[in-house]
Structure 1
Amino acid sequence: MALRLSTGLRNKLLGTEGFKTIMQNGVIRIFPGVQPSSADDGESVSHLLEITVSSGTFTAGTAVNGLNFAEPSGGSCAKASSEVWSGAAATTGTAGWFRFYANDMTTGSDTSHARFDGSVSTSGAQLNMSSTAITAGATTTIDSFVVTMPAS
């Protein structure tokens, strides 16, 4: 599966703000099952896990515990090295895909807000984890995360 950008994110990238700024203080939710065909689609399932800075409580619209990217380099943005991206699982299941939401964290079917989706696996995915088995209450940490923008 490929990284899928929402219509809202693609439109914002055409403006003057860069990816790092648009996605500043965002949050990742990890879901079971198959990645939707579009990041504009609603989630249709409950998330297993929410990733924030150091597993802290995230509140949409505030910077507290939101995830950030480092300065872009060579068309790619990596997670900010100073941040620990982690979260305690809300429920038990098998991770299948993730959605990275901008700080407003607009859920459901939507074409105007910035977010992107990708697959989750132990290798060859947009988000590789040591295990896709998620256990309620257990903490998962994302050590490495890089988004590469296409050339056009």
Structure 2
Amino acid sequence: MWKASPGLCDHVARNGSYLSALNGLVLRIYGGAEPASSAGSTQSNTMLCEIKPDGAGLNFEAGGSPGVISKDAAQVWSSLEAAAGTATFFRLEAVDDAGDEDSMAIRIQGSVGAVSGDMILSNTTFEVGSPRTIKHFNVVIPSI
């Protein structure tokens, strides 16, 4: 299950919306050992790809099911792969997030896999300069 940062939880508590917290973030896909929490540092990880459409942030919309926030279908999430390696985890984080240990940064972190994981990719192997497109992306808000 993906990990919400304390900063994301604080944003939702104060502003009342996951949707407003997620709009404008970027998707970064990393290789290496996944930090234990979304507040942890990614400084020792390799960023394999950054999805940042038109230099701006990502757009999300309310999904078709209760508690689901989905990638805006009209926005193309595509980028060239920046490094070679095997994807192990991703983060949704602010464009200017430096990846330092930070409990107040708005982040979602999750595992990446080809068969199982929080984000399923058809191929978890990245090569410099290869195109990477994310066609579907959903964030499911846990219910009790």
Q: Which runs of 5+ in 1 are unaligned?
A: 59-64
Distance, in Å, in 2 between the alignment partners of 1:80 and 1:106 is: 25
Task: Answer whether contact 2:67 2:141 (CA < 8 A) is retained.
Answer: yes
Partner of 2:48: 48
| 2:67 corresponds to 1:75 | yes
Q: What displacement does 1:34 show?
A: 2.6
Identity %: 31
| Matching of residue 136 in structure 1 with residue 128 in structure 2 | yes
Partner of 1:33: 32
Contact in 2 for aligned 1:27/1:103 (Cα 8 Å): yes
2:83 is the counterpart of 1:91: yes
Gaps of at least 5 residues in structure 2 are: none
8 Å Cα contact 1:69/1:78 also seen in 2: yes
TM-score of the pair, normalised by structure 1: 0.86
Counterpart residue identity of residue 9, structure 2: R
SS in 2 for 1:47: strand
Count of residue pairs the alignment pairs up: 142
Is this contact kept in 2: 1:89–1:134, CA < 8 A? yes
Asked if 2 retains the 8 angstrom alpha-carbon contact of 1:70 and 1:80, the reply is yes
Using structure 2 for the length normalisation, give the TM-score. 0.91
CA root-mean-square deviation: 1.5
More helix by share: 2
